[in-house]
Structure 1
């Protein structure tokens, strides 16, 4: 039986015996490492064995693993495991060796090691007892370090260039992690990143970009004691392009390099300082008292922590309790007894908004649910539906209609995924570019096609299988409108408004199909969108690439607009707020603002950072009535949620494909008119193939992806007929 207190001199003999058992020659490198450890023990130094996997073969790993599983290895105090490339070594055997060393692991350095993502995932899920982990330049896209890393104080993930996401269980068991470096990754989401980092109670030093002279996360020794003011417009060259630094944050000698995309978020530094109050060093720059105070000021003016003007996080249970008892959270029992409960009753709307705030405050990872399974559509095998436009129903919370690039119109129950109506296409050379449900006649919708044709459908009617003149299901013929891009119905369901890639706007009688008006030269360039007001049947607004938005009134035979408001770039779209008090204007490259509908004066500028692309077409809509706006652009995989009254940013929602090369961009979006903090996004995949997908988003639930996604039905699935 082995001695309970083995001596270091026995370790070499035990290694030789194990090699004989495995019928392999002892590694001269392993023998050398063991002898060095023996010398350390004899000279009263800390007994540490340094293993360099680059010097070993696969056959050497098995006896070494068995050696650390034996009691003799307890003579070693610590073990450092270094692996620069490990080409040819079995990855599972390396993982077994790490676990065999167990609590004696001090440093695990597997930088530049071409480990497969599933091996890294196993490592992160199982955990390690090391103190330092260096996985620099390894290939992993989604980080979920949910395993136990109880002794780890330093983690280096620099140059993990595929890493884009932290899952909600990440960093759950790292109570002693004080230093974290993630430079030159693809991490970009402030909200999910901070939610993950808040699970690290000991985190003091963090960096997503580094000072070139700094080898670790500690403060840069070249930084001036007093920060020098630099201009807001001074760019710093970085790994991803140009980075704009706010004044007073860094010194002129402090140069940033290898930033992750999160560093390009506006007021990134201030957001991190306020959200992680225990942090002492960010990006090799010390956080002083002045930095903290200034960060709070900037944060409060640009970001909204909780929705609906709530200042403090509350649990869902406490809000439900207050709703049942009719009290507010600021009252104590004594005040209730003295003043009586009737004085402190709140409206149901108050509790509903508080409940939304509590749910959103605890859900950094919103649920994304792709509407990919419409199995009741019986068509030829393998046919794909590619959505091009969609609209929620205005009175039925369960219905959604979408038109496709091929010209089909599909009505679905988006709550269950069941098909309600499928309207086939008889002219294969057209795509659906406009949809609008009628308000009073709730089963009808107007559809506009890119060939200029207009159709009025009733989803309660049965379509003939073959039609010689396929005008519409209810027999109304409309004159074509060339270059059509937009259709809209007025408040009384009497007129249809159309616009397109021209300077013209047409108004049709919805019951007869007759064109009532054709207005020409309303703008200097093409009119992208024309929208009626929700409550005034004669008012409509137009937006154009000529930079202008114009309000018109049909009662005055619109020759001159009621007013004109201008943007600094071409306008992509405009829409009324649900109560018609405001206009939401979206211009190219994230220029989004809210105007007073009465006279076009600026009310809110949402101050979204531009990308510099003249092709970044931005679209924005209202959510939660007119409380919030959602905005997305065709060159970006993100939807931004902002308070409509203050312009402050509440949340960003990132669309991510199944791998680093799967790029998703926002083509259109809508707020759910019946559910607060719900929306749907039309996303397009650029690589590896062109696919279009409608994705529902629930900001009030946490889970990142729906159960279907987690079971393997990835976001890149498209609507398939007959499957």
Structure 2
């Protein structure tokens, strides 16, 4: 016979006597309420509040919980709402003592601290519902066992910025997940983490509410949402559907929590790929989580006709909502008509990810089992629309591959091709298998590798000062360039006026040129192509010199700079660049003029004045034509010039809507890539300046969000980053489709305020790049972060743990 409630109460009182503690009145009240429920044939459950519990009151409560398995109690809920500091070890012991009867855990971890959160994440819990509002989460990494967890609410965890790769691996039953008002931003890593959840059907990053004639949705300020009791239905041993049963009121005594219910009724998940069927069979029933206020019931009625079924008469109005203007993100208010009535919906507590363009379509297309997103239903027509939008604006796999391939499979196909040498008969075409070039297989291998790495390898370039005659120091990079012919060599200039040539593969310093005279930032660096040991460096004080890193290298790696060749100064310099024959170079800066220098003689040949209406930020020669160059200016114009025409008037002019930060030629000189303030990135035809592609990256509204973009993988992709954001975006240079975003937050060391200062694609390694990152904190250091999109983050942990590197915000490339 199970232990009845009266016996439990008696044993609790006896345990209190044994521990010399007075029985807690709140616990006695909980036991009394449970007895009343049992007598009324209701669900016999305990609701234990940790608020104001003293440490000495935990031992008898633990004794009570040890006996719950053999009692009449069917479920136990644990919650706390105050910030009263508790002994976190007692709290976890209590929850784990309840074991399989633990149903709901509703906590604010401010009352427990980081150690509680670490233990909870690593060991797990047996609860079905976990509501956790945390100020300590930065990277969600819940590796413990949460096998029974069906609902997880992390709303208002405002420090949470990213999800770890396997953070949901131990939650096979999770169906409802809410992440409102977190700081999660990256679509790609977020979806990759969600893909590990086979049962997820309800996801929320914001809450859409009807706001007509009622106050705004504010109930979720507590960070809680309600839940249901879930059951998996089986048909002849096959998983055919998941039905979410009737609502169980687990917090009937708390009106505020009742307003925060996260509901999902009668959702059917089909095995076929079509997913959600059309509404003729009434397979969706969305009921109101806020019935007492009425406005969420209206939202339900808008989609279901008030009877739990999708109302065919409202299909057109719903389509009007789904087929809104594509330029308008689903994050601001929207209005729809129900009959003659205008109903307005507003988003509350939206996370930053909601403001990513096509966020909803990306989520729906990437998570085909999802049935509700942000408390709005997902119908079959919505899934089809999302798939079309995804194919138009995103690349699922690099190089427009339709499906992800296995690396071994690609290698096998390549070997089959190379091992056969077909003889082509007259009038017959060789099979397409043999017509594929080596480039095809190289791209296929890259696509296969990158498709398996949602969390790419990021690690700081570790450059130690021990190579400098035993001197220990760190560097503050401000500009860097890959070597054009040596795949292991990179040079960077610092804010302190130093120039460091380094083997970026092993971190060894090849040559170090200290700052001479006053310390000034190195803003211009350019390797010479025909003379691979030489480079031109320019500082913001106007200093310009030609260095040979081999001739000046000493046993300690330190160069005096005495053998350098100086040029006439160019005041307030920001950019230098040599032409393709290494005969000439140009310098530009905070003026409207451009200076032309002869490299061999060291003389300044000419100054071209008033080339723009405002100062010229960056100047670039073409990669193959020694006389053609382009200038980008804050006057919003990009201009192409030809030295053979004595640059009095440009070959063409192309205007941006904002000031131009960056311009560069594609490796084959076919295109110009132009970056203006706040993510305005365009690709022009170099022959006449016509617009070839607008990458349509969302702006932030900041006038100081300086954007820089470069090519990667030849001219196949572009990488773009801005100094007010911690994201690098990768887009196809032929279609403009977004391939991937790389978030710097959460990678390597703590990067809570890290931003993209500059970036370059690795000219020798596909899908490799480096990022010059900067912190916004005063006197912060800078670092160069290497990114390998073909290797996973586990590779970085295994090979680069313990390496240290160390980020300002000024103009230049």
TM-score, with structure 1 as normaliser: 0.90
191, 215, 227: which one aligns with 2:260? 215
- Within the candidate set 519, 535, 555, 1:429 is matched to 519
SS at structure 2 position matched to 1:323: helix
Give the deviation of 1:351 after TM superposition. 1.9
Counterpart pick for 2:344 among 244, 253, 259 = 253
Contact 2:707 2:720 in 1 (8 A): yes
Q: How big is each residue's C-alpha offset from its partner over 1:149-181, in whole Å with a ceiling of 9 and x where there is no partner?
A: 121211111111111110011111222211111
Corresponding residue for residue 79 of structure 1 = 76
Q: Equivalent of 2:43, from 42, 46, 51?
A: 46
Q: Does 1:317 align with 2:314?
A: no
SS of residue matched to 1:254? strand
In structure 2, what is the equivalent of residue 488 of structure 1?
Answer: 577
Give distance in 1, aligned partners of 2:172 and 2:609. Answer: 68
Gaps of 5+ in 2: 210-216, 218-258, 264-285, 287-295, 304-316, 420-428, 809-813
Aligned partner of 2:448 among 358, 371, 378? 358
Aligned to 1:301: 392
Q: Does 1:173 align with 2:262?
A: no
Change (3 A) 1:569 1:523: same
Assess if the C-alpha contact under 8 Å between 1:587 and 1:617 holds in 2: yes
Residue 568 of structure 1 aligns with which residue? Answer: 657
Contact 2:761–2:770 (8 Å) recurs in 1: yes
Deviation (angstroms), 1:348: 2.8
2:482 to 382, 388, 392: 392
Alignment deviations for residues 42-97 of structure 1 (CA, whole Å, 9 cap, x no partner): 54433212111114211111222233235765543211111112513111221121
Give the superposition deviation at 1:320: 2.8
Q: State the Cα distance separating 1:450 from its structure 2 match.
A: 0.8
Q: Distance in 2 between matches of 1:704 and 1:160?
A: 26
User: Which residue of 674, 691, 694 maps to 2:784?
Assistant: 694
What pairs up with 1:449-598 in 2 under 5 angstroms?
449-462=539-552, 472-598=561-687
Distance 1:288 1:691 in 2: 50
Given that 1:51 and 1:79 are in contact with CA atoms closer than 8 Å, whether structure 2 keeps it comes out as yes
- What secondary structure does 1:308 align onto? helix
**CA displacement, residues 606-626 of structure 1 (integer Å, 9 cap, x when unaligned):** 000111111111100000000
**CA deviation map 1:351-410 (0-9, x unaligned):** 221111111111111111011342433378664310000001111111110000010001
Pairing partner for 2:770 from 680, 688, 692 = 680
Pair 168,72 (structure 1): closer, same or farther in 2 beyond 3 Å? closer
SS of the residue aligned with 2:474?
strand
C-alpha distance in 2 between matches for 1:232 and 1:394: 45
Give, in angstroms, the shift of residue 699 of structure 1.
Answer: 1.1
Structure 2 residue aligned with 1:90 = 87
Q: 1:711 to 1:464 in 2, by over 3 A?
A: closer
Q: 292, 311, 316: which one pairs with 2:383?
A: 292
Q: Displacement of 1:111 after TM fit? A: 3.7
Residues 4-403 of structure 1 mapped to structure 2, 5 A cutoff: 6-70=3-67, 74-85=71-82, 87-111=84-108, 113-136=110-133, 138-212=135-209, 213=217, 215-218=260-263, 219=286, 220-223=296-299, 224-225=302-303, 226-227=317-318, 229=320, 232=325, 243-244=331-332, 252-326=343-417, 343-344=433-434, 346-378=436-468, 383-403=473-493
Equivalent residues of 2:774, 2:807 under 8 A apart = no
Inter-partner Cα distance in structure 2 for 1:700 and 1:249: 48
Change (3 A) 1:186 1:693: same
Bigger RCO of structures 1 and 2 (CA < 8 A, at least 6 apart): 1
Deviation at 1:26, TM superposition (A): 2.7
User: Contact 1:682–1:694 at 8 Å: present in 2 too?
Assistant: yes
Decide whether aligned partners of structure 1 residues 710 and 202 sit closer, same or farther in structure 2, where only a CA change above 3 A counts: farther
Q: Which stretch of the first structure deviates more once superposed, 566-575 or 226-235?
A: 226-235
State the alpha-carbon separation in 1 of the partners of residues 355 and 200 from structure 2.
22
Superposed counterparts of 1:653-664, under 5 Å: 653-656=742-745, 662-664=752-754
How many angstroms apart in 1 are the aligned matches of 2:104 and 2:653? Answer: 66
Contact between 2:772 and 2:807, CA under 8 Å: does it hold in 1? no
The question of whether the paired residues in 2 share the 8 Å contact of 1:369 and 1:709 is answered with no
Q: Distance in 2 between matches of 1:149 and 1:569?
A: 50
The SS at the match of 1:543 is strand
Question: Cα deviation per residue 1:624-662 (whole Å; 9 max; x = unaligned)?
Answer: 000000001111111100000001111111111689983
Structure 1: distance between partners of 2:25 and 2:67: 20
User: Which stretch shifts more, 145-154 or 641-650?
Assistant: 145-154
Q: Structure 1 pair 293/711, CA: closer, same or farther in 2 (3 Å)?
A: same
Q: Is the CA contact 1:681–1:696 (under 8 Å) kept in the aligned structure 2?
A: yes
What is the CA-CA distance between 1:705 and the residue it aligns to? Answer: 8.2
Residues 659 and 208 (structure 1), Cα distance of their counterparts in 2 relative to 1, 3 Å cut: farther
CA distance 1:350–1:76, shift in 2 (3 Å): same
For residue 356 of structure 1, give the secondary structure of its aligned residue in structure 2: helix
After superposition, what is the alpha-carbon deviation per residue over 1:689-708, rounded to whole angstroms, capped at 9, x for unaligned? 52211101111122178328
Q: Distance in 2 between matches of 1:524 and 1:714?
A: 44
Alignment partner of 1:628 out of 717, 725, 734: 717
Q: Against the structure 1 CA distance between its residues 317 and 59, is the aligned structure 2 distance closer, same or farther, given a 3 Å change threshold? A: farther
Quick one: structure 1 residues 341 and 288, their matched pair in 2 at CA, closer, same or farther if it must change by over 3 Å? Answer: closer
For 2:156 and 2:430, the matched residues in 1 are separated by 61
Conserved? CA contact 2:663–2:672, under 8 Å: yes
